[in-house]
Structure 1
Amino acid sequence: MNGLLYPLAAALAWIALAYRLVRGLRQDPRDPSLYSIAAAIALLGIIFTVSTPAVWAKIDHTVAIPNLSLLISQSCVIVFSGTIQCIIIFWTHPRPDSWRRARWRVVWVLGVLTVMVALFAAAGRQDEHPTDAAATYAQDPVYAAYLGCYIAMVALGFTDIIRLCLPYARAAGRVWLSRGLRLTAVGAGLGLLYCLVRAATLIEGQLGTDPKRLEALVPVFAAFGAMLVIVGLTLPSFGPRLSRIAAWQVQRRAYRQLYPLWEAITVTVTEVVLDPPASPDRGILRDVNRRLRRRVVEIGDGIRQLRHHMSDTVAAAAAATADAQGLTGQPRDAAARAAQILVACLAYEPERRERFDSPAVDGAVDGAGRDDEPRRARWDAWRTALPATDRRLSAPATAGAQPPEFGADHDDFSAEVRWLVAVAKALRGSWIPAAAAGDQAGNQIGSRT
C-alpha cells in the first residue's frame, strides 16, 4: 500500500506546487501567502516522496544511516503541521495579532524537532525497515519516547488546524476559500485518525502485543488526508476557474437550447441576425458568452418586430389549454408564449411575401424579391419540419381572458436566458404551439387583437 498511495500523494503535491507557483508568480510575486502555501505543499511532497519505499531505501543506503528517512519524513510532518497553522492564522487574524500567534507555534515546532533529533540519535543504529519502521521499533523505550513526541505534536497540530478552519470557513466571505478551509479540516481529521493508529502502535508496542496490527491503515489515512489538504490549500486559487468552466458549460448549453426559438424568429425576420454562425451550434467553444448574448438580443429584436402579429387571443387560449393539462408557473407561461410567437411567425410570413411579390415599381421590388428567395426556401423548410398535432386549443374559461404577463419577473440576464430557454423547449417539445399553429391555419382562434 505504501508503494502505491505514497507516490500518488507525492505526485499530487508536486503538481499542485507547480500550479500554485506558476499562477502565483504571474499574479503577484510579492504575495507572502504564495510562498507559505508553496512551502506547505512542498513539505507534503517531500514527506511522501521520502516515505515511498524505494526512495526510503535509496536515501538510507546513500547516507549509511538506517531509517534516517523516518526522521526526515516525520520531521517534515511536524514542520508541515506548524506551517498550516501559521497560514490559517495569517488568513484569519489581523497582521499584528497573527505574527504573535504564529511566533509561538514556530518556537514550539523547533523545540519538538530538537527533542526528536536527540532521541533518534540516542536510539542507535537499527535494521532497515522502509514500510513499518515505527511499528517495528515501538517496543524500544527510546524509539517509544521519540514516537510519543511525534504523535503528540502532530495530533495537537491537526486539532489546531480543525479548530482554526471550521469557524472561519463559515465567515470567510469567499465561496472557494470557505470550501478550501472545510476540505483542509477534513484532511486534518484523517490526520487525527492517522495519529490514533500510531498511538495504538505505540501502546501495543509497550504492552508487548502486535504493534503492526493496524499498520495497513497508516498509508490510507496519511495519503488521503494529505491529498485533501493539498486540494484544500489550492482550491481558493483554482476554484474560481472551476466556476468559470461551469458557467461556460451552462452558457454553451443555453446557446444550443435557444436554437429552436432563434430559428423560428430569424428564419422569418432575417434582418435581426447581425452575425450568422459560421459553425454548427454544438461546435462552439470560444466566445460563448458573446454568442449567447447576441442570440438573446436577436431573439428580442425579432419578437419586437413581430409584436404587431402577437395575438393576445392565442396567448389566452394557449394558457387555458396549459391550465387544462395541469401546467403551472413558468412551463404554462412558456407554452403560451411559444404558441403566440409561432402564430406570429406564421401570420407575418404571408404579409412579407405579399409585399415582395407585388408588382415591381421601377424594378426595385423585383430585386428585393429575388434576394428574398433563399430566405423563403429556408422558411418553407422550417415550416415543413414543425411538429404537427390533431389537438386544438381550448377556449378560455371566461370571455376576454387576459394572457400571461410575459417577462414580468426577468430582472437580469440569467433570468431572461432561463425564460427564453423554457420558451424554446416549449416550442420544440410541447404540442400546444403546434395546436395553435393548426388553429391559425384553420382560422379557429379569431382575428388578431
Structure 2
Amino acid sequence: MKDLLHPISLVVAMLGFLCLLRDVPTRRKDPASTALAAVFLLSGLSFLLSITPMWNYLDRMLGTVNISVPLAQGCVVALLACQQVVLTYWGSPPEVARQWSRRWLGAGFAVIAGLLVLFALLTPRAPHPIDFTLYYAHDDWYAAYLTLYVTAYTIGELFLANACWRLARRSTRGSVRVGLRIVALGATVTLGYSAVRIGNVIAGAFDTSLAEWEGFAWTCGDVGAMLTLIGWLVPTISDQAQSVQYRIKQYRSYYGLRSLWLAFYSEAPEIELPIDRVDLAQRRRFRRISIRLYRRAIEIRDGRFVIRQYLDAAVREASEAHHRARGLHGQELSAAVTADQTLAGIAARAEGTRPAPDQLTEFADSERQTSRPMDDIDALLDVARHLPRQPARAPHLERVSA
C-alpha cells in the first residue's frame, strides 16, 4: 500500500512546490510563502525517502540500515512546524508571529534531534522498507522512538485542524476559506494513521500485532496528506488563475486597441514613444504585455491631444443625434460619439482645416470617471469598438512592437 500511495502523494507535493516556487522570488520578504513552499518540498522528500527503491538505495549509499525512517519522519516533523509558521503569520501580527514561529521551529528541531538519538540506539538489522514498524514493535527503544514521533505528529495535526477551522471562519476570501477547510479535513483524516501507530505501541507492550491495520494507516496518512497539500494550494491556484485571466485581458486589450492606435498613428506618427536609445535590460522590460499595453494607451492619449484642436462641435452634435436615434445612451453613446470625433478630427488635421474657436469642443467621453488603470483601458476599448474596420495599410504604418 505504501509503495502505491507514496508516488501519487510525491507527484502532488512536487507539483505544488513548483506552483509555489513561481511566486517565491517576488515574495522573498513574506515568511509565510517561504514556509508554505518548504511544506511542499519537505512533504515530497518524506514520500520520496519512504519509497522502497529509494529506501534500499540510501541504505547502500549511507551504510546505515533503515536510515530512511528518521530522515523521512524528520521531514514530516519539520513540515508540521512549517505549517504552524504559515498559520501563525496568517492569523497574527508580524511581531507575535515571529516569536511563535521561532518556538514552533525550535520544538520541531528538538523532536527531530530526539528521533535521531533514539534511532541510533536501535539495533541495526536487515532493511525493512515495508514492515519496519511491525518488525521493531517489540523493541523498547523503538517504542520510545514511535511514541515521540506519534505524539509530535498527532499534536501537530490537531493544532493544524483547529487553527484552520478557526482561521477559515475569520477569512474574507472564499478561496482561503475553502482551502483551510480542506487542510483541516486532511489533518483530521491523518489522525487515523496516528491511531494505528499508537495502537502499535500498545500492542507491542502486550506482545500482539496490528499487522491487519497497516493498509488503513498508510491510506489515512497519504490521503490526509494529499488533502492537506491540495487545501494549501487552493488560494495559490485561485490567485494564479486570476493573474492568468488578467494577463489574457491585457493581451486582448492590447490587440483590441490596435485599430484606434493605427488611426492616430496614420496621421501623427510622432506619438510613438521611441525606445531605440533604451538599454537592453530596459528593452526586455518593454516586451512585457503590461508595459506594452500601458505604452499603447499613452500613445493613444497623446494622439487625442494632437487632434483635440480639430474637434468640431457640429460633428459632435450630429453624431450624438445619430446615435441617440439608434438607441445608444450613457457610456456607449459617449464612446460612439468619441469614435466619430476621432475620425473627423484626424481627417480635419490631414486637410489642415480647424474649426472656429467658438466651435471647438471636447471628446464626448472626456468626463468619464476612471479610477483604476484598466478603467482607462476599457474606456479606450469602448471607443475602438465603434471604429469602422481599418483598411489594409502600408507596412510603414505597422508598428513593430518591442
Which residue in 1 is equivalent to 2:30? 31
1:119/1:146 contact within 8 Å kept:
yes
Which residue in 2 is equivalent to 1:15? 15
| Mapped partners of 1:306, 1:79: distance in 2 | 66
1:158 aligns with 2:157: yes
1:6/1:52 contact within 8 Å kept:
yes
Distance change in 2, residues 1:122/1:242 (3 Å): same
1:147 aligns with 2:125: no
Q: Give the letter for the 1:107 counterpart.
A: G
2:32/2:85 contact within 8 Å kept:
no
Shift of 1:127: 1.8
Which residue in 1 is equivalent to 2:342? none
2:9/2:226 contact within 8 Å kept:
yes
Which residue in 1 is equivalent to 2:353? none
Q: Give the letter for the 2:12 counterpart.
A: L
| Mapped partners of 2:73, 2:172: distance in 1 | 35
1:137 aligns with 2:143: no
1:224 aligns with 2:223: yes
| Mapped partners of 1:171, 1:89: distance in 2 | 14
| Mapped partners of 1:155, 1:44: distance in 2 | 16
Which residue in 1 is equivalent to 2:58? 59
| Mapped partners of 1:49, 1:220: distance in 2 | 16
Distance change in 2, residues 1:133/1:306 (3 Å): same
Shift of 1:213: 2.1
TM-score by length of 1: 0.53
Which residue in 2 is equivalent to 1:3? 3
Give deviations 1:123-152, integer Å, cap 9, x for gaps.
121221111201221111110110000000
Q: Give the letter for the 2:68 counterpart.
A: S
| Mapped partners of 1:246, 1:22: distance in 2 | 17
1:273-288 equivalences in 2 (<5 Å): none
Number of aligned residue pairs: give it. Answer: 254
| Mapped partners of 2:325, 2:17: distance in 1 | 54
Shift of 1:241: 4.8
1:10/1:49 contact within 8 Å kept:
yes
Shift of 1:23: 3.5
3-state DSSP class of the match of 1:124? coil
Q: Give the letter for the 2:194 counterpart.
A: C
| Mapped partners of 2:240, 2:98: distance in 1 | 31
Shift of 1:16: 1.0
Distance change in 2, residues 1:19/1:241 (3 Å): closer
| Mapped partners of 1:174, 1:84: distance in 2 | 19
Q: Give the letter for the 1:65 counterpart.
A: T
Give deviations 1:1-49, integer Å, cap 9, x for gaps.
2122101111111111111111443x44443322111111100000001
| Mapped partners of 1:38, 1:72: distance in 2 | 19
2:115/2:149 contact within 8 Å kept:
yes
1:179/1:232 contact within 8 Å kept:
yes
Give deviations 1:94-134, integer Å, cap 9, x for gaps.
11111222222222222222221111111121221111201
1:42-191 equivalences in 2 (<5 Å): 42-191=41-190
Distance change in 2, residues 1:110/1:140 (3 Å): same
| Mapped partners of 1:107, 1:10: distance in 2 | 26
| Mapped partners of 1:244, 1:117: distance in 2 | 44
| Mapped partners of 1:42, 1:244: distance in 2 | 24
State the identity %: 26
3-state DSSP class of the match of 1:213? helix
1:43/1:76 contact within 8 Å kept:
yes
Root-mean-square deviation over aligned CA pairs: 2.4
TM-score by length of 2: 0.59
Shift of 1:209: 1.1
3-state DSSP class of the match of 1:123? coil
Q: Give the letter for the 2:47 counterpart.
A: F
Give deviations 1:323-368, integer Å, cap 9, x for gaps.
xxxxxxxxxxxxxxxxxxxxxxxxxxxxxxxxxxxxxxxxxxxxxx
Q: Of the two, which has the highest radius of gyration?
A: 1
Structure 2 unaligned segments of length 5 or more: list them: 247-321, 329-402
Give deviations 1:36-90, integer Å, cap 9, x for gaps.
1111110000000111111111111211211110111111111111111111011
1:184/1:233 contact within 8 Å kept:
yes
| Mapped partners of 1:112, 1:156: distance in 2 | 12
Give deviations 1:257-285, integer Å, cap 9, x for gaps.
xxxxxxxxxxxxxxxxxxxxxxxxxxxxx
Which residue in 2 is equivalent to 1:211? 210
1:348-427 equivalences in 2 (<5 Å): none
2:157/2:190 contact within 8 Å kept:
yes
1:136/1:211 contact within 8 Å kept:
no
3-state DSSP class of the match of 1:66? coil
Structure 1 unaligned segments of length 5 or more: list them: 248-300, 308-449
Q: Give the letter for the 1:8 counterpart.
A: I
2:192/2:220 contact within 8 Å kept:
yes
1:51/1:70 contact within 8 Å kept:
yes
Distance change in 2, residues 1:105/1:244 (3 Å): closer
3-state DSSP class of the match of 2:211? coil
Q: Give the letter for the 1:21 counterpart.
A: L
